[in-house]
Amino acid sequence: MSKKKLLEVSGLKQYFGKASAPIKAVDGISFDVYEGEVLGLVGESGSGKSTTGRSIIGLYDVTEGEIRYDGQLISQGQDKQARKALAKNMQMIFQDPYASLNPRMTVSEIIGEGFDIHNMYTDKSERRQRISQLLEQVGLNREHANRYAHEFSGGQRQRIGIARALSLEPKFIIADEPISALDVSIQAQVVNLLKQLQREQNLTYLFIAHDLSMVKYISDRIAVMNNGKIVELGNSEDIYSRPIHPYTRSLLSAIPKPDPISESKRKRIHYHSQANTEDAKTFEVSNGHFVYASTAQYQQWLQETSK
Ligand code: ADP
Ligand code: MG
């Protein structure tokens, strides 16, 4: 992993609705994603994770803050050409492979759609070859190209979604809960595939999830999001071995333990959003491990977690 910042998000706010009473989906978040790393973005439903991903990919007019990709400001005032170039570098994998793939299109049409927009393959056999290659990369086979999306299982559909995301050879992929809609039995397979592709192609991921169970296996660092804010960020190891924010602790306490004895001792921690966060700021617990708290909260949480 290099130390080059591929994505820089600073002070991002994304509000919806009336200006007088906005829905603060994303409420002032800052983080970087380094080239070649996987940053996990975790939080319960409604935390603002998808909005973060969608803001990055350019689906909204940003309310406030800046987003930079490869040093270039992408959060405002881009022309069509710049947006097109960006779309090629940055792709999204969606949560629901049933809703995100058109059932009336063949696999070949779905995967090859971007080729036409970007004038990539005018030669038919070259195009077919590339589709076969993509299918094999995601663990499907070339005979699948002429079938329709609705003929596949959830896991296979997500593989098609991954092939589509890879078709334009992006550098950066936002995977928005790519396994949440899948059977538990195949979730690990899809995570392993994503991890393998990331290593082989030196891809950079923002990997969104609503719980901390699978994220551990794929992420180098993890950002924990609650109520539109990043409340804790650090190396995966720090987040798992020394979580400070009570929200992170509650998410960790929700993961079932693999062995029955530890599982019987597992205590759920319940988090109730604390109202007194007016003077909250970011504290650095240890190198690269940050927590968002008021001074009083920070001191209390350090004490609670040092026992
Ligand atoms: P997550 O992905 O973490 O579940 P979202 O980013 O989807 O969270 O949503 C965060 C909050 O913003 C939710 O309260 C949601 O209802 C609201 N929200 C998301 N998108 C919109 C939108 N386009 N218009 C209005 N409210 C939205
Ligand atoms: Mg979401």
Please report, for the chain, the start and end positions of each structural domain, with discontinuous segments joined by +: 5-305
What whole-number distance in Å separates Cα of residue 137 and Cα of residue 121? 19
> Which residue's alpha carbon is nearest to atom 16 within ligand 1?
46
Ligand 1 atom nearest to 17, measured from its CA? 25
Question: Crossing angle for the helix pair 246-253 and 295-306, nearest 10 degrees?
Answer: 40
Q: Is 45 in the pocket of ligand 1 (CB under 6 A)?
A: yes
Nearest to 106 by CA among 164, 52, 48: 164
What whole-number distance in Å separates Cα of residue 99 and Cα of residue 158? 11
> Are the CB atoms for 238 and 289 separated by under 8 Å?
yes
Q: Is 187 in the pocket of ligand 1 (CB under 6 A)?
A: no
Q: What is the pLDDT of residues 58-97, one digit of tens each?
A: 989 999 999 999 999 998 866 777 777 887 899 999 988 7
Nearest to 55 by CA among 101, 10, 118: 10
Q: Mean pLDDT over residues 28-47, rounded?
A: 97
Q: Looking at residue 99, what is its pLDDT?
A: 84
Q: Looking at residue 88, what is its pLDDT?
A: 85
Among all ligands shown, which has an atom nearest to the Cα of 42? 1
Residue 100 CA to ligand 2 centre (angstroms): 14
Q: What is the pLDDT of residues 196-245, one digit of tens each?
A: 999 999 999 999 999 898 898 899 999 999 999 999 999 999 999 999 99
Q: Is 59 in the pocket of ligand 1 (CB under 6 A)?
A: no
> Which residue's alpha carbon is nearest to atom 21 within ligand 1?
16
The pLDDT confidence band at residue 2, using thresholds 50, 70 and 90, is low
Q: Which two tokens stand for residue 183?
A: 């059977």
CA distances from 19 to 11, 26, 54, 66, 228 (A): 18, 14, 20, 20, 17
> Are the CB atoms for 179 and 191 separated by under 8 Å?
yes
Q: Looking at residue 282, what is its pLDDT?
A: 95
Beta strands in 43-133 (DSSP E): 64-69, 72-73, 90-93
Amino acid identity for residue 129 in this structure = Q
Residue 103 CA to ligand 2 centre (angstroms): 22
CA dihedral 184, 255, 271, 293 (to 10 degrees): -110
Q: What is the pLDDT of residues 243-285, one digit of tens each?
A: 999 999 999 998 888 888 888 888 888 887 766 667 899 999 9
Q: What percent of the chain has pLDDT over 90?
A: 73
Among all ligands shown, which has an atom nearest to the Cα of 45? 1
Residue 181 CA to ligand 1 centre (angstroms): 18
Amino acid identity for residue 32 in this structure = D
User: What is the total residue count of the chain?
Assistant: 307
Q: Which of 39-53, 108-122, 143-157, 237-251 has the lowest mean pLDDT?
A: 108-122
Among all ligands shown, which has an atom nearest to the Cα of 25? 1
> Are the CB atoms for 87 and 78 separated by under 8 Å?
no
What whole-number distance in Å separates Cα of residue 229 and Cα of residue 294? 14
Q: What is the pLDDT of residues 13-29, one digit of tens each?
A: 999 999 899 999 999 99
SS3 47: coil
Q: Which fold has domain 5-305?
A: Rossmann fold (3.40.50)
Among all ligands shown, which has an atom nearest to the Cα of 177? 2
Q: Is 49 in the pocket of ligand 1 (CB under 6 A)?
A: yes
Q: Looking at residue 207, what is its pLDDT?
A: 98
What whole-number distance in Å separates Cα of residue 53 and Cα of residue 35? 17
Q: Mean pLDDT over residues 128-140, rounded?
A: 96
The pLDDT confidence band at residue 51, using thresholds 50, 70 and 90, is very high
Q: Is 16 in the pocket of ligand 1 (CB under 6 A)?
A: yes
Q: What is the mean pLDDT of the chain?
A: 92
Q: Looking at residue 100, what is its pLDDT?
A: 84
